[in-house]
Structure formats: structure tokens, C-alpha cells
């Protein structure tokens, strides 16, 4: 059997592996395909494609777009995108500015909680990559405010935590349209985080094409439920580990993997 992990991140967003290290790891773990889906950036894709050239690994160009629905953060995965599409790249520039603004707002909120985090520490950790909450979590660990990134999310910066800031510029409909406009297939990431499955038919109405059924936080009953929902709504089924490297050491590349047949169905979704 051949398997794929369709949810992996690199150091271009909030992962710790470079694109080249990621490809090497995927080959070592016997995967046939991986999808690089960094948050709101396609910066890792050229390097990953080059590293995968001449190997048995298929590198699927992708992205994880952050959208907002009310006060809720929604993540839409895009697969087989044209990562050089001008409309996509222009929009991502605006999204990156939005991300930088958000970091300053979260750090300000942390001050209100008595946590005086140096903003520059966050940007030093993110480097030239797409800055996000994981970089804040790592900065909080580095400056001794928490012991682990997980504690940072739980106490301060998780979706329901006191320093959290929403305010993303894309709606789910816009994210889906952007992915499809760049030739990709739009898939809802980790649907359990919605805490409202009634939103999924609404997103399908916007043109959503798939749902991430297989995910580390999904119980078997959740998997069964989302499989049934995908069938009912005629959505494609995907899955992946949401691999971030050393910041989530319990999640290994390929922890969640799907049969390559599901990748072929995804590819057909483009047509």
C-alpha cells in the first residue's frame, strides 16, 4: 500500500523543519506523497519541489488559508494550487500584513495579563516565515513564561483564552474562491474545531470540495460522522497529521496517513 500525509508544515510558517528536511523525513518514513500546507504562505513550495525531484515522493503544492466566520477562526486547506498565481500571491501579501498586526495585538493583550513578552523575540523565531501564534508560544517558552507551547495556548493564546485575537481578513467564501481560482481543491481543515457541524453544509454551498476526515484529534466516532457527512454532501475525503516538527513532538510525520487512492480522487477534483 502507498500512503500520503496531506497536512504538513515547514519553517516557512510554524513548523520547525526546512522544506528539504521535511522531504528527507517523508522519504525515511516511507510516504509516497505529502502536501506542504503552510499557513497563508507558499514560500516553502519551490524548495520542497526541488528537494523531491528525482525521488519517489510526490510533493503536492498546498496552503492552509486562515479565514474568519464571526469570531471564529476557520482554516481552509488548498491542494494542487498554482503557487505562482498572481491573484493568490497579491492576496497573501495583505494577509501577511494582517498576521503581523495580529501579533502586536496579542502581545498587547498578554501585557494586560501581566505577561511582558518581547515582540522582537516572536519575530526572531518566525524569521522570514509566516508569523503566527505558534511563534508567540515558542517565545513565551523561551522567555520563561510557560514550560511548553501547549501551556501557552491553554493559558493565554488559544481560541478561548484571554489574549486571543481574531480579526483575519478573509471570509471562508473568499478563501475557498481564492484556492479554486488558483486551480486548487478547497478542503475544510480539522472540522472538530468548528464545534458547529452545521456550518459545513454552508461552506459546501460556497464551493468547498472536501473535508479533512482523518486527523489526530478525531476520535473514531468523529471519523465515522465526517465520513457520513462527506458522503451526504458529496465532499472529497482527506487526512493528515498536522505535522509541525519539534514544537509538537507527539505528532510524527505520517502519524495520520491516507491511502494514495484518496489523493487520486483529490486530483480528480481539480477537473
Ordered DSSP codes for the chain: --EEEEEE--TTTT-SS-HHHHHHHHHHTT-SEEEE--BT--TTHHHHHHHHTTSS-EEEEEEEEEEEETTEEEEEEEES--TT-HHHHHHHHHHHHHHHHHHHHHHHHHHHTT----HHHHHHHHTTS---HHHHHHHHHHTTS-SSHHHHIIIIISTTSTT-----S--HHHHHHHHHHTT-EEEE--GGGGS-TTHHHHHHHTT--EEEEE-TT--HHHHHHHHHHHHHHT-EEEE---B-GGGSTT--TTSS-EEHHHHHHHHHHH-
Positions of CATH 1.10.150.650 in the chain: 93-157
**pLDDT score of 46:** 98
By residue count, the chain amounts to 271
Question: Would you state the pLDDT for residue 159?
Answer: 86
> Strands 236-239, 210-214: parallel, antiparallel or unpaired by DSSP?
parallel
- DSSP lists the bridge partners of residue 185 as 79
CATH number (3.90.660.10, 3.20.20.70, 3.20.20.140, 3.10.180.10) of 3-85+175-270 reads: 3.20.20.140
Q: Which three cell numbers stand for residue 94?
A: 495583505
In the chain, which segments carry CATH 3.20.20.140?
A: 3-85+175-270
Could you give the CA distance from residue 212 to residue 231 in angstroms, rounded to a whole number?
13
Distance of alpha carbon 181 from alpha carbon 120, whole angstroms: 36
Where the chain has pLDDT below 70, the residues are 271
For residue 104, the Cα-to-chain-centroid distance in whole angstroms is: 21
CA 113/CA 191 separation, integer angstroms: 30
Q: What are the φ and ψ backbone dihedral angles of 72, each rounded to 5 degrees?
A: -105, 135
pLDDT of residue 169: 80
93-157 is a CATH 1.10.150.650 domain: yes
Amino acid at each position: 500500500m502507498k500512503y500520503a500525509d496531506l497536512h504538513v508544515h515547514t519553517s516557512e510558517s510554524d513548523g520547525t523543519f526546512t522544506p528539504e528536511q521535511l522531504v528527507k523525513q517523508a522519504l525515511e518514513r516511507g510516504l509516497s506523497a505529502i502536501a506542504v500546507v503552510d499557513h497563508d504562505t507558499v514560500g516553502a513550495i519551490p524548495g520542497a519541489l526541488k528537494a523531491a525531484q528525482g525521488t519517489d515522493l510526490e510533493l503536492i503544492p498546498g496552503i492552509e488559508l486562515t479565514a474568519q466566520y464571526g469570531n471564529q477562526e476557520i482554516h481552509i486547506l488548498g491542494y494542487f494550487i498554482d503557487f505562482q498565481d498572481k491573484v493568490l500571491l497579491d492576496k497573501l501579501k495583505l494577509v501577511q500584513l494582517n498576521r503581523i498586526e495580529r501579533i502586536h495585538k496579542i502581545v498587547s493583550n498578554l501585557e494586560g495579563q501581566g505577561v511582558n513578552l518581547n515582540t522582537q523575540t516572536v519575530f526572531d523565531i518566525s524569521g522570514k516565515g509566516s508569523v503566527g501564534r505558534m511563534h508567540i508560544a515558542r517565545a513565551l517558552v523561551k522567555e520563561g513564561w510557560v514550560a511548553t507551547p501547549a501551556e501557552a495556548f491553554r493559558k493565554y493564546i488559544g481560541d478561548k483564552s484571554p489574549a486571543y485575537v481574531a480579526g483575519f481578513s478573509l471570509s471562508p467564501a473568499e478563501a475557498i474562491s481564492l484556492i479554486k481560482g488558483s486551480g486548487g481543491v478547497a478542503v475544510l481543515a480539522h472540522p472538530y474545531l468548528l464545534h458547529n457541524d452545521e456550518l459545513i453544509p454552508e461552506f459546501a454551498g460556497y464551493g468547498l470540495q472536501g473535508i479533512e476526515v482523518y486527523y489526530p484529534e478525531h476520535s473514531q466516532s468523529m471519523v465515522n460522522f465526517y465520513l457520513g457527512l462527506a458522503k451526504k454532501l458529496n465532499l472529497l475525503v482527506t487526512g493528515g497529521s498536522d505535522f509541525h516538527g519539534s514544537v509538537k513532538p507527539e505528532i510524527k510525520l505520517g502519524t495520520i496517513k491516507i491511502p494514495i487512492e484518496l489523493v487520486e480522487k483529490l486530483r480528480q477534483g481539480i477537473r
